[in-house]
């Protein structure tokens, strides 16, 4: 008898993530086994033992000869599978009990094309982790209320394969391609983007304030580029505060919470970096 095609594929892009991939897969793989799903790790040109760790954890591994970035790797992952439902997540994430079953459940409704699960920021008491928890940017609740169209992130996303095929998958960019995918799917009339109630991931944040700062600079650039691609209705050319607060707002928070000087100072630096990157991207988007 020929093997059956799994109904669900969980796609995990990883570059030099050997330290995280074992822990991540330990939370995902048992849930995938229970549902008869496959787990595909896309080794995005790693130079460490990511692939070996993933194989020992039970995942299928797709090795890319050179690094293509997270969205390029995700495209390889879903195109290399045959499942009707594709689930995306990240190597720093830890699936909580019932995550996968609850995440794919909304797709039982044929009107739904994409579902996103809750994502909490984990970590410990170090400054970078506290800063990341303050600016939780991946949970779908505020994203689903976006003034343009709802979206969720690939930190915890389930998508119909037919929708991915219809729009050609992700744009291979560094950041923001998950919002762009959700918007193109809705604009094409392929289905709704909804919350998967009861599905929770915990994301282990970046370990240094510099990494958090760089991350938010990327978000600022992506915010302008992706929204501008979808026109003024998407808010691509509005002010820098449209994502996560203005510099004046961060200053007010700092004055209101003088007890945690380091956190407030780090948040001011983050917002300033975001605003500078935003304005540079905006200048590129509006030729003089």
For 116-156, the pLDDT digits (tens) are: 999 999 989 999 898 888 877 778 998 999 889 999 999 99
For 81-124, the pLDDT digits (tens) are: 999 999 999 999 999 999 999 999 999 999 999 999 999 999 89
Question: pLDDT-based confidence at 3, cuts 50/70/90?
Answer: low
Separation between Cα atoms, residue 264 and residue 189, nearest integer Å: 43
Say yes or no to pLDDT of 248 above 60. no
Average pLDDT in the chain: 88
Question: pLDDT-based confidence at 287, cuts 50/70/90?
Answer: low
For 261-271, the pLDDT digits (tens) are: 888 888 888 88
**Do 155 and 203 meet the contact criterion of CB atoms below 8 Å apart?**
yes
Separation between Cα atoms, residue 94 and residue 204, nearest integer Å: 8
8-state DSSP, 204: P
Please tell me the predicted confidence (pLDDT) of residue 106. Answer: 98
User: How is the chain split into domains, by residue range?
Assistant: 8-207, 210-285
Please tell me the predicted confidence (pLDDT) of residue 257. Answer: 58
CATH of domain 8-207: 3.90.550.10
pTM for this one?
Answer: 0.89
Question: pLDDT-based confidence at 12, cuts 50/70/90?
Answer: very high
Separation between Cα atoms, residue 259 and residue 214, nearest integer Å: 26
* Alpha-helical runs (H) found in the chain: 18-35, 50-56, 70-79, 99-104, 127-134, 140-144, 161-167, 177-187, 209-229, 247-256, 261-285
């Amino acid at each position: 008898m020929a093997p059956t095609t799994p109904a669900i594929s969980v796609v995990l892009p990883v570059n030099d993530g050997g330290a995280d991939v074992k822990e991540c897969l330990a939370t995902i793989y048992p849930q995938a086994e229970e549902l008869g799903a496959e787990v595909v790790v896309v080794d995005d040109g790693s130079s460490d033992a990511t692939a070996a760790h993933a194989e020992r954890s039970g995942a299928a591994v797709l090795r890319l000869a050179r690094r293509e970035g997270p969205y390029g790797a995700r495209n390889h992952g879903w195109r290399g599978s045959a499942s009707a439902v594709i689930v995306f997540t990240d190597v720093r994430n830890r699936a909580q009990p019932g995550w996968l079953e609850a995440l794919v459940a909304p797709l039982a409704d044929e009107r739904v094309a994409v579902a996103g699960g809750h994502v909490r920021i984990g970590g410990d008491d170090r400054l970078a982790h506290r800063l990341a928890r303050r600016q939780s940017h991946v949970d779908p609740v505020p994203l689903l209320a976006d003034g343009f169209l709802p979206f969720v992130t690939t930190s915890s996303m389930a998508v119909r394969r037919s929708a991915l095929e219809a729009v050609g998958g992700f744009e291979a960019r560094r950041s923001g391609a998950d919002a762009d995918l959700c918007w193109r799917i809705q604009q094409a009339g392929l289905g709704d983007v909804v919350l998967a109630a009861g599905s929770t991931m915990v994301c282990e944040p970046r370990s240094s304030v510099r990494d958090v700062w760089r991350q938010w600079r990327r978000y600022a650039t992506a915010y302008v580029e992706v929204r501008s691609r979808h026109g003024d209705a998407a808010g691509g050319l509005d002010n820098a505060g449209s994502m996560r607060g203005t510099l004046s707002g961060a200053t007010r928070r700092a004055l209101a919470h003088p007890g945690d000087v380091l956190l407030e100072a780090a948040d001011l630096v983050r917002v300033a970096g975001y605003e500078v990157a935003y304005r540079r991207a905006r200048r590129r988007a509006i030729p003089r």
